[in-house]
Structure 1
């Protein structure tokens, strides 16, 4: 068994933990453990950044499919009105 103590130096945190413990009818230790376990579970169940970005990447790749007229010198000359200046 690994025992160590935490000392909360922030008054607002101490008050918040004590309020939650009183509301739940539990000890400070139980309250802190439950809160930490709940937060750990929430974060560890969250998909990774790569997994969250995959749908965005797929949308982006779908938008950049080739199509339309080729963008060569003649195309840009025509856009700028330079096609007839030779």
Structure 2
């Protein structure tokens, strides 16, 4: 199936990318750009899924203690360093 670029701005970007990547055709430059963008989106989804998993684990621990003093805890942990 053919992909026709009729928008002058998009065509200009494809030419610029073709020169930057030193590909022989605009088609190759567009293919590389699309492959790279798909990989970026997949990595982003993986990161989002990982964060959601961590949030679920943290929520399973139960509510945090509102009276917990993190500064005091850290001072005691580090001592006189």
Q: Same fold (TM over 0.5)?
A: yes
Higher-helix-fraction structure? 2
Q: Does 1:18 align with 2:15?
A: yes
Which residue in the other structure is 1:58 paired with?
57
Determine which of 1, 5, 13 is the counterpart of 2:2: 5
Q: How many residues are treated as equivalent by the alignment?
A: 63
Cα distance in 1 between the residues matched to 2:22 and 2:49: 41
The structural deviation recorded for 1:37 is 1.2
Q: Which is worse superposed, 13-22 or 37-46?
A: 37-46
TM-score (norm 1): 0.55
**Superposition RMSD on alpha carbons, in Å?**
2.5
Which residue in the other structure is 1:41 paired with?
39
Stretches of structure 2 that go unaligned for 5 or more consecutive residues are 65-81
Cα distance in 2 between the residues matched to 1:63 and 1:12: 53
Structure 1 residue runs of 4 or more that deviate by more than 6 Å after TM superposition: none
The structural deviation recorded for 1:50 is 3.8
Stretches of structure 1 that go unaligned for 5 or more consecutive residues are 66-86
